[in-house]
Every structure is written in C-alpha cells, then in structure tokens.
C-alpha cells in the first residue's frame, strides 16, 4: 500500500533547483522506509535487487525478476522510480522490450549501461569492463527511447573513461538520452565530470556508491558545479540492511540471550505503525457489513 500522495514527477524535480537524492531500494519494505524518511525519488538499484535475491550484481537475475521488484516498489510508494535495466538484457530489441515493460510498470526513468551483456559491476571487478562498440550502443539508446515514449526519462550510463566517455555521452544525447550517467571510474577528478556536462549539454546523474571517491568528494556544491542533478545512493540501503541483519543473526546463532539482541531493534509498535497496520485495520472496518439495526 502506497504511503505517498501527490508526489511531484521526476521531470518536475529535474527542473527544480537543487540535487535530487534517490536511495537504492529493492522491495516494498525498503521502498516504504525510504518514502517515510523523506526522499523525493527512489532508485530501483540492480545492485540491491541482485543482493535481495542472494546474487552478485552481474546481470544474473532476469528482466522478469527486475520487473517484479519494480512492481513491488511501486505498490509500496508513489515516489518516482528510477529503474536500473543493466544492459537492457540483450541487444537493441531486447532493450526496447525491457524499457516498454518498465514504462508499463510505472517507472519515471530508466538507466542503461553500455557494457556487453552480461554486465560486470565496475566497482566489484578490478579490470576494465568490456563495452559494446559505440555504434551498437547508440542503436540501443535509440531503441530504449522508442520503448519508453515521451513521458519516461532515459538516463544513458557509460562505463567508459575520460575522452571516450565524453564522446559516447555526446552521441547518446544525440540518440535521445535525457541525462548522462558516468560511473565512479569514468573520470579521475571532478573536472572530468564538468567537461562531460559541458560537452553533453544535459544534466548528469551520479551514483554516490559507498566506499568510492565520489561518495567522499561529491558535496552538493561540487555536484552543482559539475552539472549533476540526480545523486543515487544505490548501495547504502542494502549495505546497511546486510550489516544489521548479519550482526543480529551472528549474535542469535551464538546463543546470546534473545532480549539482549532484540533490545537494539525497532520497537514492535513502531514497526506496526511503519508497515501500515492502522491503515489496513481501517480498510477492514470499511468493508465489513453494517451492524444489524444500524
């Protein structure tokens, strides 16, 4: 059950002043928590969705599983969703079909990278990732744009570096991309991001991935100077959840007294309120039959 009403669209948010922060979510619970925390948009993070399935971010899960996660996120929140579609799960035709399905699922934007399929998360591997030739990547951007239509924004991600990344960014914008998303390894300094923004002529998207240099150095002022409009916190939520659950399960498995472990949890009543029990109770009363003689 959604907790948000009358949320501004992503396009409206992009046209406003200031940085849009979109935390990485992967299911209804994480979406509800992000919504209630006060964020204005959500990132359906491939890294987090894969982790929620017990898998690495290596395009192991399918487009259908990604769509299923997005639908659960959409049911929990009305906030704009920026969906990770990895490489589009194949060639241009696959990517177009994936984009159209995401549009029907209610996303406000998708981002697709220019790696070969299956992709390899660049922050999880040491060597450079393999990219598709630029002409093929341009065709996939065009195909995704056709699948999205005019209402859903297309963020073209490039996993290239330096001058080649800028060349690709310019080409992707000509092919229909609304925003460009370099990754943390694309440039070695903020100046590279500035040059990319100037060359592409559209806002940039940055993933402030935990433990990377961009997380440390991309202040609001720095992002504004570099033309960055959307800051995605793709890994923070799932790392926080994994850290907390691992700690709790390790303590429970060791035989530690249950009250000592649960004493650090959210209180039961707080969880009941957060998850929406009061709203469900009201709905149940609404649909019960009228008492006799009423």
Q: What are the chain's domains?
A: 10-241 (3.20.20.60)
Distance of CA 124 to the CA centre of its chain: 17
pLDDT digits (tens, 9 = 90+) for 147-186: 999 999 999 999 999 999 999 999 999 999 999 999 988 9
- Percent of residues, the chain, with pLDDT higher than 90: 86
End-to-end, the C-alpha distance of the chain in Å comes to 30
Phi, psi of 147 (to 5 degrees): -70, -30
Handedness of CA 25, 17, 183, 124 (dihedral sign): negative
pTM exceeds cut of 0.75: yes
User: In terms of DSSP H, where are the helices of 24-161?
Assistant: 28-37, 46-52, 63-76, 92-105, 134-148
CA distance to 23, 26, 38, 52, 274, per residue, from 266 (Å): 21, 20, 18, 21, 10
Catalytic residue among 57, 86, 114, 159: 57
Residue 114 is a catalytic residue: no
pLDDT digits (tens, 9 = 90+) for 235-282: 999 999 999 999 999 999 999 999 999 999 999 999 999 999 999 999
Q: How far is CA 226 from the centre of its chain?
A: 21
User: What is the spatial distance between Cα 265 and Cα 47, in angstroms, rounded to a whole number?
Assistant: 25
């Amino acid at each position: 059950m959604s907790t948000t009403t009358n949320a501004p669209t992503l396009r409206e948010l992009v046209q406003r002043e200031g940085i849009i922060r979109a935390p990485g979510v992967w299911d209804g619970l994480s979406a509800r928590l992000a919504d209630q925390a006060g964020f204005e948009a959500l990132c359906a993070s491939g890294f987090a969705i894969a982790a929620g399935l017990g898998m690495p971010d290596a395009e192991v899960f399918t487009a259908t599983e990604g769509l299923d996660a997005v639908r659960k996120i959409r049911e929990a929140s009305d906030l704009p969703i920026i969906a990770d579609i990895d490489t589009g799960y194949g060639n241009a035709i696959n990517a177009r079909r994936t984009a159209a399905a995401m549009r029907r699922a209610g996303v406000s934007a998708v981002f697709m990278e220019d790696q070969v399929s299956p992709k390899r998360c660049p922050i999880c591997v040491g060597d450079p990732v393999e990219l598709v030739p630029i002409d093929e990547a341009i065709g996939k951007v065009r195909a995704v744009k056709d699948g999205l239509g005019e209402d859903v924004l297309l963020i073209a991600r490039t996993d290239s570096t330096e001058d080649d990344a800028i060349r690709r960014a310019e080409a992707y914008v000509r092919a229909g991309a609304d925003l460009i998303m370099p990754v943390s390894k694309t440039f070695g300094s903020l100046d590279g991001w500035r040059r990319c923004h100037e060359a592409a002529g559209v806002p940039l998207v940055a993933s402030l991935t935990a433990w990377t240099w961009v997380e440390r150095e991309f202040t609001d002022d720095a992002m504004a100077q570099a033309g960055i409009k959307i800051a995605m916190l793709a890994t923070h939520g799932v790392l926080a959840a994994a850290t907390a659950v691992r700690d709790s399960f390790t303590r429970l498995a060791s035989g530690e007294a249950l009250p000592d472990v649960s004493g650090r949890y959210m209180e039961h009543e707080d969880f009941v309120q957060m998850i929406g029990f009061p709203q469900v109770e009201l709905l149940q009363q609404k649909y019960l039959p009228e008492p006799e003689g009423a």
